[in-house]
Structure 1
Amino acid sequence: MNDRVSITVTDHVADVRLTRADKMNAIDPAMFKGIAAAIDQLGGMANVRAVILSGEGRGFCAGLDMQSMAGGGSGIDLGSRRPDGANLVQQVSWGWRMLPMPVIAAVHGVALGGGFQIMSGADIRIAAPGTRLSIREGHWGLVPDMGGIALWRTLVRDDLLRELTYTAREFTAEEALGYGFVTRLADDPHEAAMALAREIAGRSPHAVRGSKRLFNLAADADPRAILEAETVEQLRVIRQPNQVEAVMANMEKRTPRFKD
């Protein structure tokens, strides 16, 4: 990781922030590498039960830093792929979806182009009213290539997605809520994300992670495979210590004490 991203973990919740506020967290080669490194670090943190992703300063992320990328994205190897098929620029969006724990994006100000794709990788997206969003790549003569196409197919209608991509027009958080890109609005999205993350962190981490695996499978698998996966995931948790603790805590009306 580098000075583009910070991670703070408190009570099983990782608060991840893009920290290039002077550039509205625009993505340069160092930001690509910093986000990918942060995702890799979080993937190995068994004590983290939920992640909040936000940007410091006036906006979540203004998209590509076109000036820094003018040389063709120096230092970024688009041909090198991870085991799941993602290259580096796709990993900064797709990687959030592949983390074992839920990720909540807290979005304000702007989420344009690459920033919009990064936001889309989260399981849940909470945005401030008036936030400006766009599938911006067409404005620069580019196509969305940071994992957005794979992420958006489960969120919005195909014809709407095509219109927004072909035109590169901006839309508001209020419109995004109606489209399906945004889960809900909040005047303080980070505060709302933190409250939700704490609620999730209070549930059995094994059940939550198993549920995320099922939802990740749902977009591609046939019904038979999904039904089988439900059974497999249930057998992993039923009558195990955390599931027993969930039952006992509910019966005794106390806060559960789960183990990671």
Structure 2
Amino acid sequence: MSNNLIILSVNNQIATVTLNRSEKLNALNFSMFLAIDRVIKKIKKDKNIRAVILKANGNDFCTGLDVASVMKQPIQVFKLLFKWLPGNQNLAQRVTLGWQSLSIPVIAQIQGRCWGGGMQIALGADYRIARKDCSFAIMEARWGLCPDMGASVQLAKLMPYDQALWLTTHAEPISAQQALEQNLISFITDDLDGQTNILLEQIIQKSPDTIAAVKRLYQTSHQSNNRRILARETCNQIKLLLNENTKKVIKANKKKQQAEFSPRSHW
């Protein structure tokens, strides 16, 4: 299965999902969101698949949202954020948390830059294997926004409160070593395929039902009120998109200046 931007292949019960927009540093356009969502649903229906490898072509895993592409059609922002009920996952959140809906392990292979939406997608995986030269960032705060792709659900499982707060407000890249120390990635390696194969060998030796049961067990034991978090993510992002200070940040960034902020709104 392929739409050129996202490629799905299945070999020996292992699904490989590849981001394939390397000429744009794998930055996410609206079509990629749709394709990732479809791929997750397709994998979910195939009970023969034992594990997923999530990777990217090119030098970078993903540099985040292709803002220029998405903003050419503002209706796409609405489609990314729309949900029927506040606690439901919208399209932007499904491309992160959809991997957690699978009853099989998902292994992200990360090289180069893993920024913004790219990092949030990687956080949806169960294991993250990174090359030593990787950098990681959640960068929405640079534009006066907040993470809105389900990252807050995953960060609550992985990091202490102060570190998650710092990561998202700091909005600057950190190294692979820093990411490892902050529990954002599982392994650092010079051989992504080799380390992945070590994990896969262990997974394939176990009963697929055991793997599924264990994944669901630990999801439950680490679960917070996900519906409330997802509703708050989307509510905050919509409020920020309409916020005067957000507009000032965007304008200042375009001019490479420091914004002069108005008093804080009520939160």
- Return the TM-score normalized by structure 1: 0.80
Identify the residue that residue 76 of structure 2 maps to in structure 1.
Answer: 74
Identify the residue that residue 46 of structure 1 maps to in structure 2.
Answer: 47
Identify the residue that residue 232 of structure 1 maps to in structure 2.
Answer: none
Amino acid at match of 1:45: D
Identify the residue that residue 108 of structure 1 maps to in structure 2.
Answer: 111
Q: Deviations over 1:93-113 (max 9, x none)?
A: 010111111101110101100
Identify the residue that residue 11 of structure 2 maps to in structure 1.
Answer: 10
Amino acid at match of 1:63: G
Alpha-carbon offset, residue 153 of structure 1: 0.5
Question: Once structures 1 and 2 are overlaid, which stretch shifts more, 137-146 or 2-11?
Answer: 2-11
Judging changes above 3 Å, is the alpha-carbon distance between structure 1 residues 221 and 129 closer, same or farther for their aligned structure 2 residues?
Answer: closer
Judging changes above 3 Å, is the alpha-carbon distance between structure 1 residues 13 and 82 closer, same or farther for their aligned structure 2 residues?
Answer: farther
Judging changes above 3 Å, is the alpha-carbon distance between structure 1 residues 148 and 47 closer, same or farther for their aligned structure 2 residues?
Answer: same
Judging changes above 3 Å, is the alpha-carbon distance between structure 1 residues 198 and 11 closer, same or farther for their aligned structure 2 residues?
Answer: farther
Matches within 5 A, 1:134-213: 134-213=137-216
Gaps of 5+ in 1: 223-260
**Percent identity of paired positions between Structure 1 and Structure 2:** 35
Identify the residue that residue 261 of structure 2 maps to in structure 1.
Answer: none
Judging changes above 3 Å, is the alpha-carbon distance between structure 1 residues 182 and 82 closer, same or farther for their aligned structure 2 residues?
Answer: farther
Give the whole-Å Cα distance in 1 for the aligned partners of 2:69 and 2:178.
31
Amino acid at match of 2:58: G
Select which of 128, 152, 155 maps to 1:125: 128
Amino acid at match of 2:31: A
The answer as to whether partners of 1:104 and 1:193 remain within 8 angstroms in 2 is: yes
Give the whole-Å Cα distance in 2 for the aligned partners of 1:123 and 1:156.
15
The answer as to whether partners of 2:17 and 2:52 remain within 8 angstroms in 1 is: yes
Identify the residue that residue 244 of structure 1 maps to in structure 2.
Answer: none
SS state at 1:100 partner: coil
Runs of 4+ with deviation above 6 angstroms: none
Alpha-carbon offset, residue 81 of structure 1: 5.0
Identify the residue that residue 86 of structure 1 maps to in structure 2.
Answer: 89
Q: Deviations over 1:68-97 (max 9, x none)?
A: 122436272422359982100000001011
The answer as to whether partners of 1:18 and 1:25 remain within 8 angstroms in 2 is: yes
Give the whole-Å Cα distance in 1 for the aligned partners of 2:87 and 2:44.
14
Gaps of 5+ in 2: 226-267
Give the whole-Å Cα distance in 1 for the aligned partners of 2:85 and 2:26.
25
Amino acid at match of 2:172: R
Amino acid at match of 1:7: L
Judging changes above 3 Å, is the alpha-carbon distance between structure 1 residues 25 and 221 closer, same or farther for their aligned structure 2 residues?
Answer: closer
Question: Once structures 1 and 2 are overlaid, which stretch shifts more, 39-48 or 68-77?
Answer: 68-77
Question: Once structures 1 and 2 are overlaid, which stretch shifts more, 77-86 or 25-34?
Answer: 77-86
Give the whole-Å Cα distance in 1 for the aligned partners of 2:80 and 2:117.
17
Identify the residue that residue 65 of structure 1 maps to in structure 2.
Answer: 66
Question: Once structures 1 and 2 are overlaid, which stretch shifts more, 134-143 or 192-201?
Answer: 192-201
Q: Deviations over 1:161-183 (max 9, x none)?
A: 11111120110111000000011
- Return the TM-score normalized by structure 2: 0.78
Give the whole-Å Cα distance in 1 for the aligned partners of 2:88 and 2:166.
27
Tell me the number of residue pairs that the alignment of Structure 1 and Structure 2 aligns.
222
The answer as to whether partners of 2:157 and 2:223 remain within 8 angstroms in 1 is: no
SS state at 1:97 partner: helix
Q: Deviations over 1:108-151 (max 9, x none)?
A: 10110000000000011110002011011111221100000001
Give the whole-Å Cα distance in 1 for the aligned partners of 2:86 and 2:195.
34
SS state at 2:76 partner: coil
